[in-house]
Structure 1
Amino acid sequence: MPERRADRAAAATAAPVRRQRRRRPVLVALIATVGSLLGIATVVAVVAATFVGGLARSFDEHTEVLTEPFPTGARPSPTGSAEDILLIGSDSRAALDPDGDHTAGGRSDTLMLAHVPADRRHVYLVSIMRDSWVEIPGHGTAKINAAYSWGGIPLTVQTVEQLLDVRIDHVAEIDFAGFASMTDALGGVTVQSSTDFTARGHHFTQGPNHLDGQQALAFVRERYAFSDGDQARVRNQQAFLRGVFQQALSRGTLTDPGRIGDLVTAMSEHLAVDPGLDVPTIARLGWSLRHLDADDLVTVTMPIDGSGTSPDGQSFVRLNELERRALSQSLRSDDLQRWVDSHGR
């Protein structure tokens, strides 16, 4: 009996040791797994921070900051939490002169107002045709793109603010070479063309067209191939920006850090912005719009009311005054969707 008791006592004291040994590998594995996950998360966080920081540095290093881009004097009041950003596409005419008008100082060939409503449910691009006949402060009536030639960005901003009675919060100017670079950085952009046409050695078919940089440049600049000239060019510019938006939001772009980096570099090298449109501001705006997809980009054009000829022989387009006032009111009240619904896209 004493021997059996001794054996049982020995077994009793040994059993906990064996149970502890069975549990220890599981505990060690759990700790190791958690540690590994935390380590991976830390590495990912560091890599992400480094990548984002690199993008910010690239943007800051390459993007030109405009000096005094806004007009002095009285200006419209801000529209609450909505944001209105004037987008200007231009060139110096030194290297690019597609229309042969040899305008001194260059002209703003593309004018779009990007309206970001307070609810952040859409982004609206309102195109203003370059030949729109408007009042330019200090110069009388003329085509709106002449404002850029006469007074640069400040006069262009002042002209648009007077036209729409809405305050421009930010301004961004991109030269047309940037359209090509941005397209190539995205690996090409697919646009929807409303018709077949040929421009600058490139042929485009009705329907989807996948464009490289040079094709994109020809696509957004052509107007002589169309019977409605500048109206068709505006439609193509809107189609191009929609294609850029779709491609930029695609999985192939968002999951490719190299492509994102190339896009930021390509864009920033041809971009000039007001001092307030810095990386933190862009990041905050982008985060507020993170839920949007390509269908939430709404493109419209300021309605026109025929064409005319100025006393000195310039052909221009006449804006529809009633619709101009209605559009202005919708922008000021941050209710542009109602205006869009009543006019169609």
Structure 2
Amino acid sequence: MRKAGGPMARHRKKSSWKKWVFVTLGVMTVFLVAGGLFVWSMYRDVNETVTKVNDNLEISEERKQVETIEEKRSVSVLLLGVDRRGNEQGRSDSMIVMTLNPDTNEGAMLSIPRDTKTEIIGRGIRDKINHAYAFGGAEMAMDSVEALLDIPIDYVVETDMDAFTDVVDTLGGITVTNNFAFATDGYNFPVGEVNLDGEAALSYARMRYDDPNGDFGRQERQRAVVSAIVEKGRSDFSVDKVTKLLDVAGRRAKTNLEFNELVTLSTDYMKAFRNASTLRLEGSGGIESDGVYYWNPDPASLEGVQTELKRLME
């Protein structure tokens, strides 16, 4: 009986083993197929959104057909935070130039004071640099920043203030380190780490007149918020957040960055981003003969900033 039972038992065990192999393979196949469809769906959605924001950006084809990131060379990006009301063109309330060098893993972020008096390329006048966007959109802003800093501007990312708050809220808020206590728009910002939702982050970044460092302090907070958004987006990934961010980007953002370039930026350029230093353009301002306030860069400071940016762009 033991001899008869032995082979039968082994047969049952073998049959059970095969059964579970087939079940496991079946389940894995289902997951792989579903996962593949999901990944493809996400890729398609992201790609379609990026294509949409590319198409929304009204700049020349030459400006759109840039290959700097694909070639993994030093890159410059102009970040424009546009303040507009209704259907008006608006002005670039925030202008940040970011340069990243993937070879040396260095970078820099420079905020350009919006009242900076400089040549507006394409208009033949000297005016506030934030008027460049009002006169000729992102391309005139890029041209004018290039002339001011004497470096090429490869890419531009343009968003309005509603996009700013939507992105922060979609990420579940951000955390920044605040250097001095202040209150604005009904919010209190103590010294130390501060958690911000979208509206609070906007108020935090835009406060200007109560800062002991004036517009420079405001620029530093804007850069800190940008850095916090990038880090939160990379570290706190979820399907729901990606879907919502795609919706915000599709409605609010404009850029000449393409999908593959965004992927490369988030990988090969991230160390340079994290090592990025903060550059400061010194100068002074006042009301001039036309009755308008302008801020004029100090020539020596401007030359120093230009030299450092050129070094990073080599």
Structure 1 residue aligned with 2:241: 259
Contact 1:69 1:153 in 2 (8 A): no
Q: For the residues of structure 1 that align with 2:263 and 2:172, how far apart are their CA atoms?
A: 24
Q: Does 1:188 align with 2:180?
A: no
Residue 199 of structure 1 pairs with residue 184 of structure 2: yes
Q: Which runs of 5+ in 1 are unaligned?
A: 1-10, 73-77, 96-103, 337-345
DSSP-derived class of the 1:334 partner:
helix
Counterpart for residue 278 of structure 2: 300
TM alignment of 1:183-332, pairs within 5 A: 183-250=168-235, 253-254=236-237, 256-274=238-256, 277-289=257-269, 292=271, 296=274, 298=276, 300-332=278-310
Return the TM-score normalized by structure 1. 0.75
CA distance in 2, matches of 1:52, 1:92: 32
| Contact preservation (8 Å) 2:176, 2:193 | yes
Query: Which structure is larger by alpha-carbon Rg, 1 or 2?
Result: 1
**Contact persistence 2:58–2:138 (CA under 8 A):** no
CA-based RMSD of the aligned residues comes to: 3.4
Distance between the aligned counterparts of 1:140 and 1:167, measured in 2? 21
- Residue in structure 2 matching 1:144, options 126, 129, 151: 129
Cα distance in 1, alignment partners of residues 242 and 147 from structure 2: 37
Is 1:180–1:217's contact at 8 Å kept on the other side of the alignment? yes
Shift of 1:299: 5.1
Question: Hey, what's the Cα distance between the residues in 1 that align with 2:160 and 2:201?
Answer: 13
For each residue in 1:275-312, what CA deviation from the matched residue of structure 2 results, as whole angstroms up to 9, or x when unmatched?
A: xx2334323433434x659x816352332134444332
Alignment CA distance shift 1:249-1:189 (3 Å): same
Q: Secondary structure at the match of 1:249?
A: helix
Give the Cα separation in 1 of the matches to 2:182 and 2:62.
Answer: 40
Aligned length: 307
Helix, strand or coil at the partner of 2:276: strand
Tell me if the contact between 2:100 and 2:276 (Cα under 8 Å) persists in the aligned partners. Answer: no
Residue correspondence of structure 1 range 56-135 to structure 2 within 5 A: 56-60=47-51, 65-69=56-60, 81-94=73-86, 106-119=90-103, 121=105, 124-135=108-119
Distance 1:217 1:19, change over 3 A: closer
Q: Which has the higher contact order (CA 8 A, sep 6+)?
A: 2
| Alpha-carbon distance in structure 2 between the residues aligned to 1:326 and 1:35 | 64
Q: 1:189 is aligned with what amino acid?
A: I
Deviation at 1:237, TM superposition (A): 0.7
Query: Structure 1 residues 166 and 329, CA, compared in 2 at 3 Å: closer, same or farther?
Result: same
Q: Which of 18, 23, 33 matches 2:24?
A: 33
Partners of 1:145 and 1:299 in 2: how far apart?
24
How far apart are 1:129 and its partner, in Å? 1.5
SS in 1 for 2:219: helix
Aligned 8 A contact 2:105 2:275 in 1: no
Aligned equivalent of 1:8: none
Asked if the contact 1:70/1:153 (under 8 Å) is kept, the reply is no
Distance apart, 1:264 and its partner CA: 2.4
**Contact conserved, 2:118 with 2:148, CA < 8 A, in 1?**
yes
Cα 1:62–1:19 change in 2 (3 A) is same
